[in-house]
Every structure is written in structure tokens, then in C-alpha cells.
Amino acid sequence: MYRSGATLGPLIDSDRHLFTSESVTEGHPDKVCDAIADAVLDDVLAADPSARAAIEVAATTETVIVLGELTTSHLVDVEAIVRRTVREIGYDDPGLGFDANTLSVTSLIKGQSPDIAMGVDHAYEERSGADPAELGAGDQGMMFGYATDETADLMPMPVQLAHELCRRLAAVRRNGLLPFLRPDGKSQVTVAYGPDRRPVGVRTVLISTQHDAVVDVATELTDAVREEVVDVVISPAQRDGEIRLLVNPTGRFVLGGPAGDSGLSGRKIIVDTYGGMARHGGGSFSGKDPTKVDRSGAYAARWVAKNIVAAGLASRCEIQVAYAIGVAHPLALNVDTFGTGQVPDSVIGAAIGRVVDLRPGAIIERLDLRRPIYRPIAAYGHFGRSDLDLSWERTDLADELRHAAGLAGATA
């Protein structure tokens, strides 16, 4: 069932296309920062749904710095939020070099620029007299959404499995099944695809997990990760023959978290989205209120792409939406079904235009984004989260899109 980790095997396979994605645990230093940023955002939105926030976080040994812009009527206790979040993740021991009880917290938050606020509060269309009161986009940029029918959650198989492995690492640490694990960790999954671009199965799994100093990596840790993590997450049917498994290939991972490597929010955007299988506009999500189209536009694009696949209009779909700061209506919409569409991409694009309102205000209202819902998705991906009821993961547009594209009958 497993090949030796020392056996490299072919880097290029003439019969298979290999694709790799990664994930990180909630204790990874960058994800600690994302969690803090979204915890601050949730605290604000719970009291003031109309707040504007663009929170950034940096962390290193025994230090957290929170900065960015925040406009709200709510009095935010940043230090308390930081300590609570870090403690929930599992950094509550001085021996870890990053302890919720003793770390230093510095807040450098300021208000939102009035020049930006003016364009968001009153969009270009409103100011030019073309439309009534509109909410303008909080920034310029292009956002991408993606979906594929290769998994039940309509996500790429490599990143979905990578997330599940990291969530399992956290679970066995928290429930005491593997008490020698520490919060920091990573996974990486390589999946073989056939000539038809359909997944054949997992080829390679890499797990790097922080651990107590007394654990023997070569035997105890490797065996435990294989049996309690990899074998639990990846079934025999999901494997392309024998898996090559690598566990902590450096041989030691005791010093971790922000004490081992400084962290920064917004630095794991490919982990947050599709594991590199689809394009990314460049903007991060965590710490941003939904007027920032980096977040709301990307969520809407995933919602549309997922509904297109759920409707049977295509087996793969990527959506791009472009915005201008202070302008409500998108500048452009692009649809790419990679040759899998049941109708031309232009027809699907026209159907989206008839069914979905992609102005920021409409997205926020339809997906109900002014709520404290962001802290749980700061780790393990913002998409494909069947463990959470996320509005942008629903397939409530599928039948309407199918009808608008001229295909008869409802989806299954």
C-alpha cells in the first residue's frame, strides 16, 4: 500500500498527468495570523454589521502585531481577541515559544481612508446620476472562482485531500489520540490524472507536523501519522496504486509556529482557494469586510462556478470577474469551461448576466456576508467546506442557470 519514502519514482509519467496541492494547519504561523485577523473582523461585525475592516497581522516569537484600517462604532479589545484566538489554536505553553498568556500584543489600527470610503458609500453610478444609491467596490482587481465535478464538494481532489489531512492532524492532536503533536503542520498531495483529465488517484503524500522532542520521527511519528491520519483520510479507492509517503523529511520539527518562522496574514491565498488548480487574482481574504471585492467577489465567483457545474452545464468551470474601485457594476465577466461545456461559454456567460447580480451590494445581500462567519474558514480553505453552511457553497442557482442557458429540465 505504501512505497518507501526514499524511492523517488518518475517525475514525469507518460500515462499520467501529476498535479500537487498543499494545505497547512491552523497552527501554521501564517494561518495563526489569518485566524486573528478574521477573529477581529467577526468581533466587529457581530456588533456593527456595517463596519469597514482591512486587518493585517504579523507574528513572531512571543509577539503579535495587528495593523490595518477599521471604521466602526464598536469598541474592539484587540489584545483579548488575540490571546483568545492563539489559545484556541493550541499555543498555551511557554515551551512552544509562542504562548497566549505571555505574548506581546501591539495594535496599530487606524480608520479607513475617507477617499476610499467615499467611493464605497456612493458608487460612481450614483455620483454620475446613472443609478440610484449604490455600494461601490472597495478596490479594483480581478477575482476568480472555480469548480470541478471530480469531488462531491466540486473541488479539485488534491487540495481537498490536503485540507482533510491537515484537519485530521489537528483533530488527533486535540482529542489526545496523538498527544505528541503540536499545532504547526503542513500537508501536500500529488494526484495522478488520466489523459481525460479525470483523477486516477493519489500518488504521493507529504506530511510535516510539529511534534514533542521525545518522539522518534522515523518510527513512532511516521507510523502514527500513516495509521491515524493518512489511512483515515485517503481510502484505498482514492489511491493510484502504492502511495509514496513522506513524514517530516527533515527528520525533526520541534520548533514551529511563529517561534520557528514568522507569520503574516494573507500569505496562503492558494491554500485558501483551489490549490493552484485555478487562477487567483492576487488579493487575500482574511481580515477584510465584504465591501472588499477581494473577498465578496471571489466568494461570488465560486458560487457561480459551482452552480454551473452543479447544473450540468460543464464538468469544470472558471469564472473571472473584474471590478474598479468605487464602481458598482463589474467591468468584465469571463467564463472558461475548458472544453467541457454543454453549451458555448458565451451562452453560459449570458445566462449568468441574466440570473446573477454581481454588484458588491447585491452580493453582500444575497450571500448575507455582513455576519461574523469568517473565523472558522481562516484555515482549511474558504471553499468546498461541507462541514459549514456557507452561502457561497450552496447550489441554489443551478436550475435557474440551466434554464437561462437553454437546457430543459432541472438538475438532479
Residue 270 is assigned to a structural domain of this protein: no
* Domain CATH for 166: 3.30.300.10
- pLDDT score recorded for residue 341: 97
Residue 237 is assigned to a structural domain of this protein: yes
- pLDDT score recorded for residue 120: 55
- pLDDT score recorded for residue 41: 97
**Low-confidence residues of the chain: pLDDT under 50:** 118-119, 122-124
Residues 52-72 pLDDT 10s: 999 999 999 999 999 999 998
Range of the domain at 250: 2-23+157-255
Residues 92-128 pLDDT 10s: 999 888 999 999 999 999 886 555 554 455 444 555 5
Put simply, whether the predicted model's pTM sits higher than 0.85 gets the answer yes
Residue 140 is assigned to a structural domain of this protein: no
* Total count of domains within the chain: 1
- pLDDT score recorded for residue 97: 87
Residue 397 is assigned to a structural domain of this protein: no
Residue 363 is assigned to a structural domain of this protein: no
Residues 284-293 pLDDT 10s: 999 999 999 9
- pLDDT score recorded for residue 124: 43
Residue 49 is assigned to a structural domain of this protein: no
Residue 225 is assigned to a structural domain of this protein: yes
Q: For every residue of the chain, which 3-state class applies, written as one string?
A: CEECCCCCCCCCECCEEEEEEEEECCCCHHHHHHHHHHHHHHHHHHHCCCCEEEEEEEEECCEEEEEEEEECCCCCCHHHHHHHHHHHHCCCCHHHCCCCCCCEEEEEEECCCHHHHHHHHCCHHHHCCCCCCCCCECCCEEEEEEEECCCCCCCCHHHHHHHHHHHHHHHHHHCCCCCCEEEEEEEEEEEEECCCCCEEEEEEEEEEEEECCCCCHHHHHHHHHHHHHHHHHCCHHHEEEEEEEEECCCCCCCCCHHHHCCEECCCCHHHHCCCCCCCCCCCCCCCECCCCHHHHHHHHHHHHHHHHHHCCCCCEEEEEEEECECCCCCCEEEEECCCCCCCCHHHHHHHHHHHCCCCHHHHHHHHCCCCCCCHHHCCCCCCCCCCCCCHHHCCCCHHHHHHHCCCCCCCC
Residue 221 is assigned to a structural domain of this protein: yes
